Structure 1
Amino acid sequence: MNLQKWLIIAGLALLVAGPLWPWLSKLGLGRLPGDIAVRREGLGFYFPLTTSILISLVVTLLLWLFRK
C-alpha cells in the first residue's frame, strides 16, 4: 500500500477518534502504570511510555491480521 493511502487511513482514524475521545479517555489510556508524569512549579512534563507501547502492540497486531 502506498504512502497516500496510509495517510488517508490515518486521517480518517483521527477523525473517528476525535469525537470519541471523551469516551476513549475513560478507558484509562494515558494514565497507565509506567507513564511518566513530572509536575513542578512552572513545569509540566508528560510522556505516555506504557500507553505508547500498548497502542503500538495493538496496531501491529491489527496490521498483521489484516495482512493475512
Structure 2
Amino acid sequence: MNPVAKVLIIAGVVLVIAGLLWQVGGRFFPLGRLPGDIVVEKPNFRFYFPIVTCIVISVVLSLISYLFRLFK
C-alpha cells in the first residue's frame, strides 16, 4: 500500500477518535469553557477566543508526542 494512503487513513482514524472523545469528554471536562478563555459579549456581537483551552491542548499533545519519542 502507498505510504501516503496509510498516513491519510491513520490521520482519519485519529480525527474520528478525537471527535468522539471531544463529544463524550465535553460533558466531563469543559474544554472551550475554561477560566481564562476570553469572551466579549455586546448587543448583536459575541467574540470568543479560547486561549487557555488552546494552551491545555498544546501541552497535552506535546506530552503525548514526547512519550511517543521516548518509547520509540
Structure 2: state its 5+ residue gaps: none
Equivalence for 2:20 = 19
- What is the DSSP-based 3-state SS (H/G/I as helix, E as strand, rest coil) of the residue aligned with 1:37? strand
Superposed displacement of residue 24, structure 1? 1.8
How far, CA to CA, are the matches of 2:33 and 2:14 in structure 1?
22
- What is the DSSP-based 3-state SS (H/G/I as helix, E as strand, rest coil) of the residue aligned with 2:33? coil
- When residues 8 and 39 of structure 1 are mapped into structure 2, their CA distance, relative to the original with a 3 A threshold, is farther
Query: RMSD of aligned C-alpha atoms?
Result: 1.9
- When residues 47 and 11 of structure 1 are mapped into structure 2, their CA distance, relative to the original with a 3 A threshold, is farther
Structure 1: state its 5+ residue gaps: none
Normalising to structure 1: TM-score of the pair? Answer: 0.74
- When residues 46 and 56 of structure 1 are mapped into structure 2, their CA distance, relative to the original with a 3 A threshold, is same
Alpha-carbon deviations, 1:5-61, whole Å to 9, x = none?
3x6544333212333433221211111111011111111111110010000000000
Normalising to structure 2: TM-score of the pair? Answer: 0.71
How far, CA to CA, are the matches of 2:37 and 2:15 in structure 1?
22
Indicate the structure (1 or 2) with the bigger Cα radius of gyration. 2
Equivalence for 1:37 = 39
Q: Which runs of 4+ in 1 moved over 4 A?
A: 7-10
